[in-house]
Structure 1
């Protein structure tokens, strides 16, 4: 038996510790203002160790966002009602996602003025985030996880609400109900709806 039988588990724990330290710094100073050296110090490791787990700052950002996307996806699934009309389920999933991000200072930091561009770039190019959106489309009975164009559109709407919020939850729900729900449900939008 290998002496390093916990090797993968230790690597996972170390990477999580680094991502946790990065998250605290992101919440405190914004995503764009945090360097790799600062993250290494906060995590209690050397820069060499940090770079062994995350080759670039971009790789660290992607890993952080992907980890949080998976966490939010699980939270959405646990909070969505069973059954229901597909458009309403997707609207509810979108609103839950927005609320979860806004309620978490670490996640909300990505949507400050200095981090919004990076968040948009990552979200627009991330298979994990697209899959997250496609999964709740599939849960609502809309296509399957290969429903990429609709999933990308949903992600863009969520991002827009995080970057440029509505006046309140009621207004955001009304906009999503008016413009997203009918398209998800296959209904046509009327000009005076």
Structure 2
């Protein structure tokens, strides 16, 4: 595939996902259908199927969550970089960023509202029970970052700490137990104690 054709395909995919994002945030996951996506994106239904396959709705849902996860991970990395001297401070900043952004994120808000109202929880599975893209991507990124930033943490403790912070953060997105700052502080304390068990 030529560079031009690849650029056109990337742009088309982005426009389709933008259209799907608009529909999901306006009407919920149940409102996502190929025909309206194609109309908003300015392409044919067949183009959408060509890009995302015969099971286009699920593929689009996965792609939407992957795209949001990438945005969140970029923000998390910036927070970690700014607090690299202390794992606990970095964890507090990173988790706080995620929890605050999740409250205002239209896609997450739409998914959680639909699930809590008993309307539809298919897309919620990408945040909770399916390992990809949230758990696998976040775990891989954070494990690599932690190994570089805090090499004194042994591999087993690091792995446990990373899994804990990812799962607890997602849990607090889905079912908040306190305000974002307090939740972030508590998750960071738990994570730090797992990473440094001798200092607990």
Shorter-chain TM-score: what band? 0.7 to 0.9
* Secondary structure of residue in 1 paired with 2:178: coil
Please, what TM-score do these two structures have when normalized by structure 2?
A: 0.76
Asked if structure 2 preserves the Cα contact closer than 8 Å seen for 1:93 and 1:136, the reply is: no
Check 1:154–1:117 CA distance in 2 against 1; reply closer, same or farther (3 A cut): farther
C-alpha deviation, 1:108, in angstroms: 2.6
Corresponding residue for residue 50 of structure 1 = 48
Asked if structure 2 preserves the Cα contact closer than 8 Å seen for 1:137 and 1:143, the reply is: no
Distance, in Å, in 2 between the alignment partners of 1:67 and 1:121 is: 12
Asked if structure 1 preserves the Cα contact closer than 8 Å seen for 2:24 and 2:107, the reply is: yes
Corresponding residue for residue 13 of structure 1 = 11
1:118 equivalent to 2:123? Answer yes
Asked if structure 2 preserves the Cα contact closer than 8 Å seen for 1:30 and 1:110, the reply is: yes
Q: How does 1:80-119 map to 2 (within 5 A)?
A: 80=80, 81-114=82-115, 116=121, 118-119=123-124
List gaps (5 residues or longer) in structure 2: none
Q: How does 1:165-176 map to 2 (within 5 A)?
A: 165-176=176-187
Give per-residue Cα distances to partners, 1:154-192, cap 9 Å, x unaligned: 332222111111231243134314433312333576xxx
Q: RMSD across aligned C-alpha pairs, in angstroms? A: 2.8
List gaps (5 residues or longer) in structure 1: none
C-alpha deviation, 1:96, in angstroms: 1.3
Distance, in Å, in 1 between the alignment partners of 2:108 and 2:127 is: 14
C-alpha deviation, 1:116, in angstroms: 5.0
Give per-residue Cα distances to partners, 1:73-117, cap 9 Å, x unaligned: 112212332422224323322221222222221333232243555
Q: How does 1:23-172 map to 2 (within 5 A)?
A: 23-55=21-53, 56=55, 57-80=57-80, 81-114=82-115, 116=121, 118-121=123-126, 124-127=130-133, 129-140=135-146, 141=150, 151-172=162-183
Equivalent residues, number: 185
Asked if structure 2 preserves the Cα contact closer than 8 Å seen for 1:111 and 1:162, the reply is: no
Asked if structure 2 preserves the Cα contact closer than 8 Å seen for 1:37 and 1:47, the reply is: yes
Give per-residue Cα distances to partners, 1:20-55, cap 9 Å, x unaligned: 111111111122332222222221222111111111
